[in-house]
A and B are shown apart, each in its own frame.
Chain A
Amino acid sequence: MSVRQSRSASIPIPRTSSSTSPTRNIESVISIPFAPPPPRPRLASAQVIPIAHHHSDDPRASVRGARFGASSVSPTRPSAHSPRTTDPACLSTSSSSSPTLPRARRPSATGPRTPSSNRAVSGLFPPAPAPRTSFTRPAYLEHSALRHLLQTESLPTIAPSRKQGQQRSLSPATDSDDEGSPPPRRATPVPDSSSQMLKLPTRMSESCRHELLSISPDGRDVTYQETLRLFRTAYPIPPACGIYYYEVDILSKGNKGHISIGFAGKDVRLSRLPGWEQNSWGYHGDDGCSFAAEKNGTPFGPTFGTGDTIGCGIDFSTHQAFFTKNGNLIGSVFKDIGKSIDLYPSIGLRHSGEAVRVNFGQEAFRFDIEYHVHQQRLQAWSNIQTTPISSSLVSEDMRPKAKAVEVTEERTKSAINKLVLAYLAHHGYARTARTFQKQLGRPSTDNLLGLDGDMELRTQIVNSVAAGDIDTALAETKKHYPEVLQANEGLMLFKLRCRKFIELLLDATELHKKLKAEEEQIATDDEDEMLMDPPVPTKSHLGTTSKAQAEALNKAIIYGQALLHDYKADKRPEVQTLFNRSVGIVAWHDPIEHGGVAAEVAGPEARVDLANELNQAILRSQGRPAHPTLETIYRHTAVCIQQLGVSGVGAAAFADMQKEFIDA
């Protein structure tokens, strides 16, 4: 499905009085002109619909009345339309071509418990002038680990961010970072997940309706003209939601209240109420029964009618639906729903006089869905955590087809200790590694990990680079790991030499700054000879600095010339690019201060990156992985979970690694 831009409201939809009510931008209304229903035997027909007329003594009804104005309920009046049709017609044509109608922009639900008075008040606002098609993702969906993939329809692709307001630094797959606290890193490109973006249902589909139903421009008001119609949203629910939830206000139940709220597959016959057909599920207002592809329902909850708000949710981690009435959970129902087909929020109306209005999160829900999702998330997570650790992870024998071993606690511990030790060694946390090893009582036979002095050596070299001491790094690398410098036709050597050139330039820059400062100081002193208290630079001092600065600059230039001489024959693009960028630094008085590309090339971060590159190169030359296994495991797991999420495994939405492993 393509992302569609919002369109003008020029689609010829028969307006009903309800859609002209001031609140039409906020809620969806389905109103169905009266058509006498066929007598329909139900198992639970004993349940009497409590409200005979839509203006009943239900306290909510008066609220509704205030909200929609008298006109909004008028479609419930019996109309002259033919009463003959009894078989419901359903709307479901292909959703792909359905135009998106403009809709009022509403900030999403700010909280699940917004008092309904708010909503009544909002209903008094005049219609929003320019309906927009998107709204902020409802808050309860923040519980999905894949929330960054979920978007409300028609919204331009939003860059996934880890958390609003929290600009996380990203680590590229390099084992970056210098010692300590999270370093500011240049932002790596945001994951290109646009192909995986998942659209949320937010409106009833214009094309998935019967011609006799009309939909308001915001896609939420549907008006019924003749006889029963089922309608559904344009987009299916992405299981990556974990839990998806919408609410329906029953504006009027008409005479019988034959309203069904639930879900349907894409190709369900549109002439039937959700729940009667294969691949459809519904909760019926007239008898309170639940229907899952059955003629006779199963007693499930209370009946519902005018003034009630019915919530309908699906939990993809359990493949069960759940319903709420007026903010209270009724319970879970149906099995294996949505396991093999896409689900669309669907509503069926059967008789004239029936009118509903749908809230996909455009405004606050009556039910505390956020809390509910939070609870389900904890449950799903603890279910996942009952998984035994796979034997291949803890096997000493790391060959892929190693014989399955019994996963004892001891083995797990030993496997984790190994991971931890390897991680510490990789990053050169030498003292920690050694102490840890001692505490484990492991014999120091871990030459594998390079805990035998090799780690220290590597760490020293890496730290020299990070500190800008390229000469030492070069000398030590040459002595201990000569192959590192020779690899890739000496690419690493070239990179280090470029850095050396930059360091020389930076030295000159520092001296230049010092010179400037001293000049200023002397100028001030000349003006005010009285202030001679602290030892200040004298003119001769100035001369020394000036000389040193000139020498430093000269040294840098000579080094640069040598570099040019040595590498001008090397036509590799990366060599040429790096050379040009390094030499380009000369153009700035103070490249780091200057910012931009110059600072990027010269700044301390570039040093750290180079240090990490060298670390990896040394590790690789020893046949060790360039990344610690622990990091690979983390990344691998994250990719598995994301893939599961987009493949329809709802529980993956509740395996939130960010929350479980990082924020906590």
Chain B
Amino acid sequence: MASSSRIRIRSEEWDRRLHEVQVTKHDLNRLIMDYLVIEGYKSAAEEFCVEANLSPPVDFDSIESRMDIRDALQRGDVEGAITAVNDLNPEILDTNPALYFHLQQQKLIEHIRHGRIAEALQFAQEELAPRGEESPEFLSELERTMALLAFDSSPSVPSGIAELLSPAQRMKTAGEVNAAILESLSQGKEVKLVQLLKLMSWGETMLEERAEFPRVEK
């Protein structure tokens, strides 16, 4: 079985095997649908249901509210997002203290971003500080966020702190919320196409050590 020398698989042989792989267009359509739903492309998902004659995997309205929440977070409207999540299912935040903390942290970041220093301080003291005592992770996140105040808008802000103000931080929080909602709908939260690409990367890397084989032409 295990041999140290690399074997060479000719492309005709490889092509023959590609041909033998069992996958139908319907299977692939479902992978596409999975992507459209999880990533929240509601209209495209609806069209695809019709064109590809697939049964809707979820209530499309749930996609919409999920996307509204994501958009609210990406706009910086944390309060709106929290309300919407609670409208959707109050248990999501109740049962997920870390997620709730990260939303509060995001709210603090938005206060600081807009220079509402007094609100920021009050909010931190009233809402976040008590929670910071709950866990070391919360506390260090709180400290990191409060450091934003110290540096104000000076250009010498360490990147680890400045990144809190970047759009990526908003995306991160939004992604966390998205995953939590999907989980509450008992739906996969990991996009299958992403998993497929990861598997391919793994497979090619592993096989490289053992064989020479043709690559995918793009």
- Taking beta carbons and an 8 Å cutoff, which residues of A are in contact with B? 162, 168-173, 175-177, 179-183, 185, 188, 191-193, 236, 238-239, 338-342, 384-385, 387-390, 393, 398, 400, 409, 412-413, 415-416, 419-420, 423-424, 427, 429-432, 435-436, 438-439, 625, 628-644, 646-649, 651-652, 655, 657-658, 660-662, 664
Task: From A173, A647, A658, give the contact of B210 (CB < 8 A).
Answer: A647
Q: Which of B72-116 contact A (CB under 8 A)?
A: none
Task: From B3, B9, B31, B53, give the contact of A661 (CB < 8 A).
Answer: B31
A196 to chain B: closest CB distance in Å? Answer: 10
Bound together, the chains give a CA A660 to CA B112 distance in angstroms of 43
Which of chain B's residues has its CB closest to A459's CB?
A: B51
On whether the beta carbons of B195 and A238 are closer than 8 Å, the reply is no
Contact A641-B18, Cβ < 8 Å, known A181-B53, A432-B51, A635-B23: no
On whether the beta carbons of B200 and A633 are closer than 8 Å, the reply is yes
Contact A429-B213, Cβ < 8 Å, known A340-B2, A640-B204, A660-B192: no
Contacts of A188 in B (CB 8 A): 20
Task: From B3, B18, B35, B52, give the contact of A636 (CB < 8 A).
Answer: B18
On whether the beta carbons of A420 and B35 are closer than 8 Å, the reply is yes
**Interface locus among B42-50, B129-137, B139-147:** B42-50
Q: Which of B177-201 contact A (CB under 8 A)?
A: 188, 190-201
Contacts of B1 in A (CB 8 A): 236, 238-239, 342, 646-648
Contact A398-B22, Cβ < 8 Å, known A431-B51, A432-B51, A649-B206: no
A637 to chain B: closest CB distance in Å? Answer: 4
Contacts of A185 in B (CB 8 A): 24
Known: A388-B201, A423-B32, A636-B200. 4 other contacts (CB 8 A): A637-B196, A643-B213, A647-B7, A647-B210
Bound together, the chains give a CA A239 to CA B3 distance in angstroms of 13
Contact A169-B200, Cβ < 8 Å, known A419-B193, A420-B193, A643-B9: no
Q: Range of interface residues on chain B?
A: 35 or more
On whether the beta carbons of A637 and B203 are closer than 8 Å, the reply is yes
On whether the beta carbons of A632 and B216 are closer than 8 Å, the reply is yes
Q: Kindly state whether residue B41 has any CB partner on chain A within 8 Å.
A: yes
On whether the beta carbons of A634 and B211 are closer than 8 Å, the reply is no
On whether the beta carbons of B48 and A171 are closer than 8 Å, the reply is no
Task: From A170, A423, A438, A661, give the contact of B196 (CB < 8 A).
Answer: A661
On whether the beta carbons of A643 and B207 are closer than 8 Å, the reply is yes
A65 to chain B: closest CB distance in Å? Answer: 41
On whether the beta carbons of A416 and B2 are closer than 8 Å, the reply is no
Contact A171-B35, Cβ < 8 Å, known A389-B198, A655-B203, A664-B188: no
Q: Kindly state whether residue B17 has any CB partner on chain A within 8 Å.
A: yes
Name 11 interchain pairs, CB-CB below 8 A, sorted by A.
A171-B25, A183-B26, A385-B195, A388-B198, A416-B197, A429-B51, A429-B52, A439-B43, A631-B28, A633-B196, A640-B203
Q: Kindly state whether residue B10 has any CB partner on chain A within 8 Å.
A: no
B124 to chain A: closest CB distance in Å? Answer: 29
Bound together, the chains give a CA A385 to CA B22 distance in angstroms of 22
On whether the beta carbons of B32 and A179 are closer than 8 Å, the reply is no
B interface majority secondary structure:
helix
Contacts of B9 in A (CB 8 A): 643
Bound together, the chains give a CA A633 to CA B18 distance in angstroms of 10
Contacts of A655 in B (CB 8 A): 199, 202-203
Which of chain B's residues has its CB closest to A640's CB?
A: B203
On whether the beta carbons of A387 and B198 are closer than 8 Å, the reply is yes
On whether the beta carbons of B197 and A412 are closer than 8 Å, the reply is yes
Contact A639-B18, Cβ < 8 Å, known A239-B1, A384-B202, A633-B216: yes
Bound together, the chains give a CA A364 to CA B128 distance in angstroms of 56
A433 to chain B: closest CB distance in Å? Answer: 8
The 5 nearest A-B residue pairs measured at CB: A180-B53, A640-B203, A177-B25, A436-B44, A648-B1
On whether the beta carbons of B22 and A168 are closer than 8 Å, the reply is yes
On whether the beta carbons of B2 and A339 are closer than 8 Å, the reply is yes
On whether the beta carbons of B216 and A636 are closer than 8 Å, the reply is yes
On whether the beta carbons of A175 and B25 are closer than 8 Å, the reply is yes
Task: From B25, B199, B215, give the contact of A657 (CB < 8 A).
Answer: B199
On whether the beta carbons of B22 and A412 are closer than 8 Å, the reply is no
Task: From A170, A439, A636, A637, give the contact of B44 (CB < 8 A).
Answer: A439
On whether the beta carbons of A661 and B210 are closer than 8 Å, the reply is no
Contact A387-B21, Cβ < 8 Å, known A416-B194, A436-B44: no
Contacts of A416 in B (CB 8 A): 35, 191, 193-194, 197
Bound together, the chains give a CA A193 to CA B27 distance in angstroms of 23
On whether the beta carbons of B48 and A176 are closer than 8 Å, the reply is no
On whether the beta carbons of A387 and B41 are closer than 8 Å, the reply is no
On whether the beta carbons of A390 and B204 are closer than 8 Å, the reply is yes
On whether the beta carbons of A192 and B20 are closer than 8 Å, the reply is yes
Which of chain A's residues has its CB closest to B39's CB?
A: A413
On whether the beta carbons of A647 and B2 are closer than 8 Å, the reply is yes
Which of chain B's residues has its CB closest to A639's CB?
A: B17
A397 to chain B: closest CB distance in Å? Answer: 10
Bound together, the chains give a CA A638 to CA B44 distance in angstroms of 28
On whether the beta carbons of A393 and B200 are closer than 8 Å, the reply is yes
On whether the beta carbons of B22 and A162 are closer than 8 Å, the reply is yes
Task: From B4, B18, B51, give the contact of A635 (CB < 8 A).
Answer: B18
Contacts of A431 in B (CB 8 A): 47, 50-51
Contacts of A419 in B (CB 8 A): 193
On whether the beta carbons of A390 and B201 are closer than 8 Å, the reply is yes
Q: Kindly state whether residue B217 has any CB partner on chain A within 8 Å.
A: yes
On whether the beta carbons of B197 and A177 are closer than 8 Å, the reply is no
Contacts of B19 in A (CB 8 A): 172-173, 635
Bound together, the chains give a CA A626 to CA B21 distance in angstroms of 16
Q: Kindly state whether residue B36 has any CB partner on chain A within 8 Å.
A: yes
